[in-house]
Amino acid sequence: MLNIRHHIGLGELTTFGCSALAEHAVVVTNFQDLQEAVAFAHDKGLAMRVLGSGSNVLLTGDVSGLVIINHMHQRAECVDRRDVHIRFGSGENWHDAVTWTVHKGWSGMENLALIPGTVGAAPMQNIGAYGVEQASIFEELEAFHFDSGEIRKYVAADCDFGYRTSVFKRELRDKVMITSVTYRLSLDPKLVTSYRDVQEELAAMSIIEPTTLDIYNAVVSVRTRKLPDPRIIGNAGSFFMNPVITSEQASQLLEKHPTIPNYPQADGTVKVAAGWLIEQCGWKGARHGSCGVHDRQALVLVNHGGAVGSEVLELAENIQRSVADTFGITLVREVNVW
């Protein structure tokens, strides 16, 4: 029997840690739970939202409707001559999944080590780090549609993966729950070492010809050193996305600000480091009531204790305004605001 609870605190279920209540909340561990939860919501006319590990959600007020907390676990693998196809239940912990595959000797997820969250949320914003996006290993997923009760299969072409986006973050937001994701990993590693931090870490480890495990260890080590641990200080990772601008805009910007870190993309656009822009505007380490900007990574907003969502949004808007005034660039939020 499904245990639907009422007026449940959600703050501790998110890494930012701002307090809010869910009108109704339920933990689902399998498909039958999900069907029953959705039937309950339909019966009462409630909107539904899925919560994974809450590492990319900022709570700004109580949440009406039903919050479906995803604990759907599963791992099933199928190995062919060169590839491994692994179907993960969407409630699997992402980093545990990465660690498991790396220790099996399978390659493809290693650059994405230590990203918090569930497997089911990974396609949502097409998670990425150190030059790799989940899209590069994605094979297919299954999503349960709340309105029709249908389970539909999505291959990569259906997902419209882009830079920290997908159809699940846009058109299908809050309309489906991703229930499983299948990744295709390789027995024949194609390693990505294009990011300076990874190269420097490998050099510090005296590794010249890295293995999949070496890259994984290097990423874990850099991330542990550089990024704020949500268990110690509340945060949701990068609060904003790195802006991607046209090459003409980039040339004009670089004429005025020649030191902006910028990365030309394959399609001719140019990605600009948002953290650098924020830092140049003097925000690194700044405080705003109980929240603030992290003192080592200006792209991360933090909860110093007791911050409420509205004051975090106020800080974010102040940052957006000053970056727009100084550089003429509009920063777009990456975090999902509830």
Q: CB atoms < 10 A from the CB of 293, how many?
A: 25
Query: Do residues 119 and 181 make contact, with C-beta atoms less than 8 angstroms apart?
Result: yes
How near is the Cβ of 133 to ligand FAD at its closest, in Å?
A: 8
Q: CB atoms < 10 A from the CB of 12, how many?
A: 9
Task: Return the bridge partners of 63, or none.
Answer: 22
Does the footprint of ligand NAP cover residue 224 (CB under 6 A)?
Answer: no
Query: Do residues 64 and 49 make contact, with C-beta atoms less than 8 angstroms apart?
Result: no
Does the footprint of ligand NAP cover residue 31 (CB under 6 A)?
Answer: no
Strand order in the sheet with 300-303: 234-238, 300-303, 291-293, 287-288
Indicate the DSSP class of residue 148: T
Could you say which of 26, 53, 146, 278 contacts ligand FAD (CB under 6 A)?
53
Does the footprint of ligand NAP cover residue 226 (CB under 6 A)?
Answer: yes
Tell me how far apart the 2 most distant CA atoms of the chain are, in Å. 64
Does the footprint of ligand FAD cover residue 274 (CB under 6 A)?
Answer: no
Beta carbon nearer to ligand FAD, 57 or 191: 57
Which residue is catalytic, options 110, 133, 142, 334? 334
Does the footprint of ligand FAD cover residue 70 (CB under 6 A)?
Answer: yes
Could you say which of 213, 273, 313, 329 contacts ligand NAP (CB under 6 A)?
273
Beta carbon nearer to ligand FAD, 175 or 184: 175
Does the footprint of ligand FAD cover residue 243 (CB under 6 A)?
Answer: no
Beta carbon nearer to ligand NAP, 201 or 214: 201
- Between CA 93 and CA 170 the distance in angstroms is 23
Query: Do residues 187 and 108 make contact, with C-beta atoms less than 8 angstroms apart?
Result: no
Does the footprint of ligand FAD cover residue 298 (CB under 6 A)?
Answer: no
Does the footprint of ligand NAP cover residue 238 (CB under 6 A)?
Answer: yes
Q: Total binding residues for ligand FAD by CB under 6 A?
A: 34
- Between CA 139 and CA 108 the distance in angstroms is 12
Does the footprint of ligand FAD cover residue 26 (CB under 6 A)?
Answer: no
The one segment of 123-131, 146-154, 201-209, 302-310 that binds ligand FAD by CB under 6 A = 123-131
**Pick from ligand NAP, ligand FAD, none: which does 117 bind, CB < 5 to 8 A by kind?**
ligand FAD
Q: CB atoms < 10 A from the CB of 319, how many?
A: 24
Active site residue 321: no
What is the token pair recorded at 129? 């780090």
Active site residue 49: no
- Between CA 227 and CA 129 the distance in angstroms is 12
Beta carbon nearer to ligand NAP, 151 or 273: 273
Active site residue 82: no
How near is the Cβ of 58 to ligand NAP at its closest, in Å?
A: 12
Handedness of CA 228, 14, 282, 332 (dihedral sign): positive
| Amino acid identity at 86 | I
- The catalytic residues are 164, 238, 334
Name the site residues for ligand FAD (rule: CB under 6 A).
15, 49-57, 70, 90, 115-118, 120-122, 124-125, 127-129, 168, 176-178, 227, 230, 235-237, 336
